[in-house]
Chains A and B, each alone.
Chain A
Amino acid sequence: MLFLLILLLSLVAQFFLPWWSLALVCFAVAFWKARYGGQAFLAGFGAIGLTWLGAALFWHVVTDGLLSHRVAAMLTVNSPWILLVVTVVIGGVVGGLSSLSGYLVRRLWA
């Protein structure tokens, strides 16, 4: 539930708002729905990671990886797949941390 809500709402937010809007979504949804810290972190990490994985993979495929190859070389990771993993992890960490924060802040009143 938590996972799905974050997934859907963050997707909508990211289409229209700057990237960090995902943190607000995670925070708010976890504040509202999360029941455990671990669950909050994992749901945030997984949902954001998945939205980033899906979109990055989509663009990578439709552009034949032309740019992802170059950027991978520029950042000296040399493979667009490593770049993809880095992307997912960075998105996931921000999602996980902000969800966890939402949960922990809510708990102050519990």
Chain B
Amino acid sequence: MKWIKAILAVSLTLLVIYGLNRTYGVVPALGPFLSPYEGFWRSGADDHFESEELALDGLKAPVQVRFDSLRVPHIFAQNDHDLYYAQGYLTAKDRLWQMEFMTHAAAGRLSEIIGDRTLEMDRYQRRIGMVTAAKKSLAKMQADPQSRAVMEAYTAGVNAYIGQLSPHEYPFEYKLLHYKPEPWTTLKIALLLKMLAYDMTGYSDDLRMTNNLRKYGPEITQDLFPDYPFHEEPIVPLGSKPDFTPLPVPPTPADFMAAAASHTLERQKPENLGSNNWAVTGAKTANGYPLLASDPHLNLSLPSIWHVVQLHAPGINTYGVIIPGAPGVGIGFNERIAWGMTNVGADVLDWYQIKFKDEKRQQYWHDNQWKPVRRVVEKINVKGGKTILDTVLYTHHGPVAYLPHEKAFRAGSTPIGHALRWIAHDPQNELRTLILVNRAADYGQFRNALTTWAAPAFNFVYADSQNIAIVSNGQFPLKWPDQGKFLLDGSNPAHDWQGWIPMEQVPQVFNPKRGFVSSANQTPVSPQDYPYYLGASFAGYERSARINQRLSAMTQATPDSFRLMQTDNYSFVPQNVLPTMLKLVNQDSLSATQKKAYLLLASWDYRFNPDKIAPSLFENWWQTLARAIWSDDFPPETYKAPARDRLVQMIQQVPRSRWYDDVNTPQKETLPMLVNATFKEVADSLGVGGEQWLWGNARDSYIRHMAQLPGFEHQLFTGGSANSINALNGSHGPSWRMVVQMGPQIQAWGVYPGGQSGNPASRFYDNLLNDWQVGKLHPLLFLRSANDRKEQTNVVWVMNGKK
């Protein structure tokens, strides 16, 4: 009896401890997680943030780090090695979990820490060759001694931080998911750069466009999907002729239509992905020196996407933001120049239809011969001990990411898959660009620095105390017109990418007559002013039109003029279509509620302000109308509907079009019928109105935790729309707003939705969120030397090498 009792008690105890010490899917290991001695309770408490001296292995000389009131580190080092070492250390201090999580996501390793749920995501990352691409890039970067030294110093700094952590000091998310940080590597830096390329360029509409082509033929497809939009304000002002001798463009091969494919559709290009940047010359400003603004729009998340830092060492003094885990400053300024980026969105990802010799898929047909397929086995470790092996087939184009859907092919037919040709697979040294831009003193040095920036291509805006410029810079394939608008023929060498647009011939504007430069992801340059094809689908012109309208009218500009512009909620979309839509509404047939909605819209000033109902009404109506027009002809699961620009043109200019008819109904719909029906539907859903219909609420915008942890999100109540300068759309929006005033003493302002710390228990996790929502900017403390304005930094760390 005694024995039974003892055995029972001991086994029960062991079972409970074992049970509490492991995770169950998304349920954390409750023992270590809830224990207030090592678990989450103890993750907070960074209020006792004090000056101190640190002894760190590997530093060559003492480094001083001064923290300002926003807890931005200002690093003063005596050599480059120590500078990047300290940056690595301090970034890890703030964002270790985020850095590692992003690189795990990029490398297709999330299943290791999360489990089965992310297996398909990981498989996709492997299939598109992310790790292969990062390794190639790393080799290229390491071939440059300076880049190599920077990466190694930064990595050593991160690892110095990781090395001194005890488990109870691990960031919160490690405790939640019950794993440990692993050593940082230079490969992870390369992975982050590839992740950036993936975010900006890793999408395509090629398969859906091919489906359109198969369904409607070339004429209709060309009419609905023109290469240059109806409304446009390109980055390069119209009529600027190129001043270079262009390379011959490869000849356009005979028409090709890819076979029907039914694999998982590609990641579609979002119509409103974008950012803004602009600069004006001194002639337009109050103090006579240029002003520059930059606000990159990204999927907003916590911890913040950006980490703010000042880097000071002999030969460098720069301030700005960078993705945690990468060395240097990405968007920012130094003592002489300022710069910012927006995505170009050129077509640098294409799919090739591959014809395999047989079911063994060991050879594929290209240039009239069978060529060998290279196989790479990817190992995906899944939490819990399982390992999944996935074989990826590589052709000279790139990896065959999509194998044909089994059912689509009868036994014995030649198998087809789609190989990915993507700019991210071409190694270039993007890190060198950052290192050199951070140190550039004039436009010549800036341009030189950009020559190794391949992907993602950015519109780099530039200002110094005399000049402004913008360069749509990146490595662009030299394409025949429309190459890659549809799926390409992987067996025909004429369909291969056949060279590159020379870096000095990318679209660019330097000190234009109009006194300003700007970009908002629109078409970089009109085909009439440029010899090369860059792509056929860029962001709509509305944001750029509003920016240019305001900049043209601007005189005596101050930094505050730019701040107000960055939070401008006006949109050209309702300005262009709402009057036409309202005119088509039959007012006599409206109920009282509908009439009220009609009046709200008729008196609206086209500003997407958070405390107004009209923007919610319009947005709903416009989306519903667009769906009513296109979704029967172009079901979104397999087809791409024409762009907003094309729809606006049709509504304005073509009162009778076959596209208004719903092909699924026997009767013939017309535009007025659709306009009236959708208006009533939307107005009725509004009911009596109320708080939930205010745009700030109805838009349903959230900022979420990077791993989508429930309970960690904030709802955003703020204005703007996808096509306003204040481009908040869902969870996508301005991730860093910066304004820089040039001159002998450069001054800058900035804000981002979040804070410096990645620790959800810290006040500095989201301390700037409210200021960001209401459109406030903070002055950025740009110190000239380690002794400059000491009263503005209250905490100082001195890092010494260990002897």
Contacts and interface: CB of A to CB of B under 8 A. Distances in A.
Interface of A: 14-15, 18-20, 23, 27, 52, 55-56, 58-60, 62-63, 66-68, 70-76, 86-87, 90-91, 93-94, 97-98, 100-101, 104-105, 107-108
Contacts of B3: 108
Interface stretch (B15-23, B672-680, B791-799): B15-23
Contacts of A66: 44, 760-763, 765
B17 A94 contact: yes
Interface residues of B, number: 39
A71 B175 CA distance: 12
A59 to B, nearest CB: 4
Contact of A97 (B2, B9, B167, B761): B9
A87 B31 contact: no
7 contacts: A20-B31, A59-B36, A67-B40, A67-B43, A87-B41, A94-B20, A97-B12
B45 A74 contact: no
Interface stretch (B341-349, B481-489, B705-713, B717-725): B705-713
Contacts of B36: 52, 55-56, 58-59, 87
Nearest first, the 8 closest Cβ-Cβ pairs linking A and B are A73-B711, A63-B44, A55-B36, A67-B761, A74-B711, A19-B35, A56-B36, A14-B37
Interface string B25-40: 0000011101111111
Contacts of A107: 2, 6
Nearest to B47: A62
A72 B13 CA distance: 26
Contacts of A58: 36
Given A66-B762, A67-B172, 13 more contacts: A14-B35, A19-B39, A20-B17, A20-B21, A20-B31, A55-B37, A58-B36, A59-B36, A67-B40, A67-B761, A94-B31, A97-B13, A97-B16
Contact of A62 (B5, B31, B45, B711): B45
A66 B44 CA distance: 8
A71 to B, nearest CB: 6
A104 B710 CA distance: 43
Contacts of A101: 6, 9-10, 12-13
B357 interface: no
B64 to A, nearest CB: 29
B6 A104 contact: yes
A93 B40 CA distance: 19
B374 interface: no
B42 interface: yes
A90 B172 contact: no
B770 to A, nearest CB: 15
Nearest to A66: B761
B167 A71 contact: no
Contacts of B6: 101, 104-105, 107-108
Given A97-B16, A105-B6, A55 B31 contact: no
**Residue of A19, A55, A63 with most chain B CB atoms under a 10 A cut-off:** A19
Contacts of A90: 20, 30-31, 34
A97 B636 CA distance: 58
Nearest to B12: A97
B13 A19 contact: no
B168 to A, nearest CB: 9
Nearest to B43: A67
Contacts of B32: 18-19
Contacts of A68: 41
A71 B16 CA distance: 22
B167 A18 contact: yes
Interface string B757-794: 00011110100000000000000000000000000000
